[in-house]
Structure 1
Amino acid sequence: METKKYTSIDEYIADFPENVAILLNKIRNCIQQSAPNAEETISYNMPAFKQKKVLVYFAAFKNHIGFYALPSGNKAFQEEIFKYKTGKGSIQFPLNEEIPYELIKKIVAFRVIEINS
């Protein structure tokens, strides 16, 4: 089976059940609030926001939402993200827990400052 190639964040979100789509849209709104000049795009077939270069990516999976703030975003917020499963530049927010929207806003704001400095 061939993987669908997305061309917009709207198209990506539309492919998920309503409960997940609501979470994805809330994350999208958090990113827009913290990075009002960022441009929406699809990169690696995931929703992404870029300002000069990619600030963050996010994607839905079976049991979690993956949030990708790159290694610097994770490093700067180690204390806040310690309870989540993380990779070098990824954080997994379980679908059965409250999504930390304020933390997402802080991480995005950090990435905006980092990219603009």
Structure 2
Amino acid sequence: MTEVDKYILQFEPPIQSRLKSLRELFFELYPNCVESIRYKIPAYKVGMHYLYFAAYTKHIGFYPVYGLWELEEELSAYRAKGTKDSLHFPHNKPLPIELVRKIIKQKAQLT
């Protein structure tokens, strides 16, 4: 069992399912991406950058999301208040899988 498995298992099954969906998306897009725990949360190295997610009581945080100007209109619906680089995906709404897919792909292309 990996450290990321342990991280996911500490949450209730519905949240585990959401976290697993995000995790699977990274490996779907980048089968050889490096998965680790950094800052006590799951981290994925895509290209030169890391992306992270973390579960909270009311949402999943997704970080850092900056420098993706062409996605800003889509990102704005999820932008955490008072931040430039954090998204919040509320548990009471479906995960925006297609948006996350775009974020991962674009982050992997940034130098």
TM over 0.5: yes
Q: CA deviation at 1:51?
A: 4.2
1:78 pairs, out of 44, 48, 72, with 72
Aligned residue in 2 for 1:97: 93
How many residue pairs are counted as aligned between the two chains?
Answer: 108
Report the TM-score when normalising by structure 2.
0.87
For 2:70 and 2:35, the matched residues in 1 are separated by: 24
Q: What is the percentage of aligned positions where both structures have the same residue? A: 34
Find the residue that maps to 1:93 and give its secondary structure: strand
| Structure 2 unmatched ranges of 5 or more | none
1:14 pairs, out of 9, 22, 27, with 9
Find the residue that maps to 2:66 and give its secondary structure: helix
RMSD: 1.7
Tell whether 2:55 aligns with 1:60.
yes
Find the residue that maps to 1:96 and give its secondary structure: coil
| Structure 1 unmatched ranges of 5 or more | 1-6
For 1:89 and 1:98, the matched residues in 2 are separated by: 21
8 Å CA contact retained: 2:65, 2:103: no
8 Å CA contact retained: 1:31, 1:104: no
Aligned residue in 2 for 1:4: none
For 1:97 and 1:79, the matched residues in 2 are separated by: 18
8 Å CA contact retained: 1:60, 1:66: yes
Report the TM-score when normalising by structure 1.
0.83
For 1:77 and 1:105, the matched residues in 2 are separated by: 12
1:50 pairs, out of 28, 42, 45, with 45
Q: CA deviation at 1:31?
A: 1.5
